[in-house]
Amino acid sequence: MNEVILDGENLTIEDVINVSRYKLPVQIAESSRNEIIKVREYIEKNWIRSDAPPIYGFNTGVGKLKDFNISVEDNDLFQKNIILSHCGGVGEPASEEVVRATMVVRINAFCQGVSGLRIEVVDRLVEMLNKGVHPVIPIQGSVGACGDLAPLAHMASVLIGFDAAEAYYEGEILPAPEALRRAGIHPINFQLKAKDALALINGTTMFAGMAVLNYSDAAKLLKEAEASASLSLEAMRGEPSAFDERIHLVRRQKGQIDSASNVRRIVQNSERITEDARKVHLKHDVLHPEYQPRVQDLYSLRCVPQVHGACRDNLNYVREILEREINAATDNPLVFWNEQGELDFLSGGNFHGEPIAFAMDILAMSLAEIGNISERRIFALCDSTLNYGLPPMLAGEPAGLNCGYPVISCAAAAIASENKTLCFPASVDTLSTKSNQEDHVSMAPWACRKTKQIIDNLPKIIGIEYLLASRAIYITRDVLGDFKLGAGTQIAYDVLLEAIPFTDNDTYMPFLSKGAIKLAESGEIVKKIEASIGVLI
């Protein structure tokens, strides 16, 4: 695929990822172009004139100032005033991939032809996106209703070529006019007309783009967590019967069935999780001086499909919400053809970000749970009363002189706890703004941002689990080395051994932990597993 065609109806999550991360260009569908032009021609003929009735956003003020009329003569200045006054964002700039996701979602919303802006505005935004002019947008300042006013105003300030606005271009942050000039976008100073400004800044756009990026990263992390859980199952010689397909089919939960299938495939043909391997007595197993059948494992091993599966089901719900939202018209007012062939303008609340706020809160809780159950396996790997004979703290001999891995396991606990506090739902928090004109808001942008923090944290926990599980296998290589690992876990272990310079004795922990965490962040382990055994669900 060389470009993404935008028609307001068929944008996919994968399209947004390809545009935002891999710089695929976009083009407006001809049908959408024709509709935008047709609608605007009607508006200019019938609504942008001195005797037109009050129409919000066309010839009236906005927000609490909706009762003030705007003359035809003042409308051009009014458009500029809207943009400049609404540039109220603060904080660090959003990443370029977030900005690109924002731009493509906004353009696609216009392609439904119900926003009422001029085609020249849409074309300019397309040109900026395709030529790599990415507005500098402060990440804080939006409450998620009316949509993303401040972030989108910063985007629009670059579009109009305002001197003090800034944009990324070819790795530099430049004044907007210079970025536009270097990209060959003309004219530098671009005049907005009636309704252009409001259409540009009013919509659930930046947080929808952020949510798509979060979803994509979360889907990859779920596979990563199933790989690390499988390696822990091998490390502790766990019971594979808990993953038997029959158990999960009678629960009828799709995510659970898929998760169990992934683990079965990753550990397929393992000899380390057999009864013969469990019969081998490890000297530190003081709780079981004689062999006894394991029967069943800790919940953090046995219930991986149930916990991961519930998170998978939540992820599917999030995907459904996002697929609708990135193909939604979310500005206000909107215009629609009636049976008489005339346009009706309707004021509504499609800019309210509640669907995204709920979706991101649910995603945050799901990812935190993936981290929670991973941290419990990390704890078990270090605890000689839980790990069936692995050395205490996975320390080399002599234990005591060697300290092992207690503090890096505490790091996982610290991060898991941090994630829990990030799960306070943004969607139930609201503050009245703008003189109570906007008396209930979604806080969807914060829901997206705190979910992103959990996404950034989770690979650290998974990486620590990779580290400790591979350490457990490494340190028992003399007594259990004849029992081969599974089809996928052997690959994971081999990749980890290449990155982690294990020794029997203590060493500087970052020498070990950084490599494992980097692998969890990069997705390299899952990629190599899938290259060997096929794509995981």
Q: How far apart are CA 461 and CA 418, in angstroms?
A: 11
Residue 145 or residue 231, greater confidence: 231
Q: What is the mean pLDDT of residues 300-323?
A: 99
Task: Flag whether pLDDT at 117 surpasses 80.
Answer: yes
pLDDT in tens, 445-497: 999 999 999 999 999 999 999 999 999 999 999 999 999 999 999 999 999 99
DSSP 19-34: HHHH---EEE-HHHHH
Let me know: does 335 contact 344? Beta carbons within 8 Å.
yes
Predicted local confidence at residue 437, as pLDDT: 67
Q: Domain 214-533 belongs to what architecture?
A: Up-down Bundle (1.20)
Task: Flag whether pLDDT at 126 surpasses 90.
Answer: yes
- Residue 56 annotated in active site: yes
Task: Flag whether pLDDT at 439 surpasses 80.
Answer: no
**Full-model pTM:** 0.96
Predicted local confidence at residue 451, as pLDDT: 99
Let me know: does 152 contact 201? Beta carbons within 8 Å.
yes
H or E stretch at 346: strand 343-346
pLDDT confidence band for 430 (50 / 70 / 90): confident
Residue 60 C-alpha from the chain's centroid: 38
Task: Flag whether pLDDT at 1 surpasses 80.
Answer: no
Q: Which of 22, 56, 317, 466 is labelled catalytic?
A: 56
Radius of gyration, alpha carbons of the chain: 28
Contacts for 529 with CB less than 8 Å, ≥ 6 apart: 227, 266, 488, 491, 492, 536
Sign of CA dihedral 284, 287, 290, 292: negative
Of all residues in the chain, the percent with pLDDT exceeding 70 is 99
pLDDT in tens, 246-290: 999 999 999 999 999 999 999 999 999 999 999 999 999 989 999
pLDDT in tens, 327-351: 999 999 999 999 999 999 999 999 9
Predicted local confidence at residue 436, as pLDDT: 64
Q: What is the mean pLDDT of residues 414-439?
A: 86
Shared fold status for 4-203 and 214-533 = no
Predicted local confidence at residue 65, as pLDDT: 84
pLDDT in tens, 49-65: 888 888 887 888 887 88
Task: Flag whether pLDDT at 89 surpasses 80.
Answer: yes
Task: Flag whether pLDDT at 432 surpasses 80.
Answer: no
Predicted local confidence at residue 431, as pLDDT: 75
Let me know: does 125 contact 103? Beta carbons within 8 Å.
yes
Predicted local confidence at residue 54, as pLDDT: 87
Sign of CA dihedral 330, 333, 335, 339: positive
Domain ranges of the chain: 4-203, 214-533
H or E stretch at 395: none
DSSP 126-181: HHHHHHT-EE--EEE---SSSTTHHHHHHHHHHHTT-TT-EEEETTEEEEHHHHHH
Predicted local confidence at residue 64, as pLDDT: 80
Q: Which CATH number fits domain 4-203: 1.10.290.10, 1.10.275.10, 3.60.20.30, 1.25.40.10?
A: 1.10.275.10
Task: Flag whether pLDDT at 435 surpasses 70.
Answer: no
Predicted local confidence at residue 434, as pLDDT: 61
pLDDT in tens, 169-198: 999 999 999 999 999 999 999 999 999 999
Pairing of strands 138-140, 166-169: unpaired
Task: Flag whether pLDDT at 244 surpasses 90.
Answer: yes
Q: What is the mean pLDDT of residues 104-123?
A: 98
